[in-house]
Amino acid sequence: MQIGWSHAAPDDPATDCPPEFSAGLALEDAEWGESRGIRSVWALPTRIQRLWTRGEPSPWQIAQKASALSARGWIVQPLNEPNLNHLGLPADVEGWPGGAREHARWLTDVLDGGSDRCVWMTPFSPHPACDPNGWLDAALDELFNSPRAHGGSGHLPGGILAHAYGAPSQVESAVRHLASAASGYGLPWIVSELGPRSDQTLEDWLPQVAECLDVCAGYGARAALVFAPRWPSPDPGHPVREFVGTSIENAMRWWARDRA
């Protein structure tokens, strides 16, 4: 299983990925006008770019961006955690207006726009109140089994992106059903955000890093990317945590060496 950073920032030589990292996720042109991590992951074998836009953007515009990124070897993540709308405001920071099937139909429009296979399924929030398994099942059913799918368009996602947070048991709860569903549809999957819960400190999570990676690898993830954001502050929803160059990074590197 490949490992690396998700959302590592800022883009400077200090954040270049260590040699044990072979996958990464970058954030493209967020709403505050900044991109994160592109320089540090652009040369990696597996690189994902998250196109972050709130609400329901034009699928054709997303498809155009995705096609351009695909030509440069990127996997594309359109949108983020649409199922947060189960929590309502202010927790719902993504603003998706519909349900899982509406999201799948929107994603099909993106795929039909010419970005076939480089676009992977949008990750859902693993929060139990957001029904991530129900959203995944409904979205997959719409993508693969709806009348539109049987109409012969043939445009399907290249894989599934997922988020998992917390202790190893919580990570397992987040990926167990996902792994089974992905296998059933013949899709690879990547944990594109892995990390501690918001109520865990880095010191709490440090002894659990290797076991969390083991869980993802044991269930068949292609890659697991540790969420290493540095959001603009003040942002009480996303307190600044430094991951790059810390004991968390060392634990990831030791894990990769031990299992090489």
pLDDT tens column, 194-233: 999 988 888 899 999 999 999 999 999 999 999 987 655 5
Amino acid 150: pLDDT: 61
User: Is the pLDDT higher at 36 or at 61?
Assistant: 61
- Separation CA 210–CA 206 (nearest Å): 8
pTM to 2 decimal places = 0.93
pLDDT at 19 over 50: yes
CATH fold label, 50-230: TIM Barrel (3.20.20)
**Side-chain half-sphere exposure of 164, counting CA atoms within 13 A:** 32
More confident position, 157 or 33: 157
183 phi/psi in degrees, rounded to 5: -60, -40
More confident residue, 113 or 98: 98
Those residues whose C-beta lies under 8 Å from the C-beta of residue 173, and which sit 6 or more positions away, are 126
Measured CA to CA, the distance from residue 4 to residue 43 in angstroms comes to: 12
CA distances from 53 to 136, 152, 167, 213 (A): 20, 29, 29, 29
pLDDT higher than 60, residue 122: yes
Mean confidence (pLDDT) of the chain: 88
Give the other-Cβ count within 10 Å of 212's Cβ: 28
Is residue 234's pLDDT more than 50? Answer: no
Residue 212 has which token pair?
């969390």
Q: What percentage of the chain reaches a pLDDT higher than 90?
A: 65
What percentage of the chain exceeds 70 in pLDDT?
Answer: 87
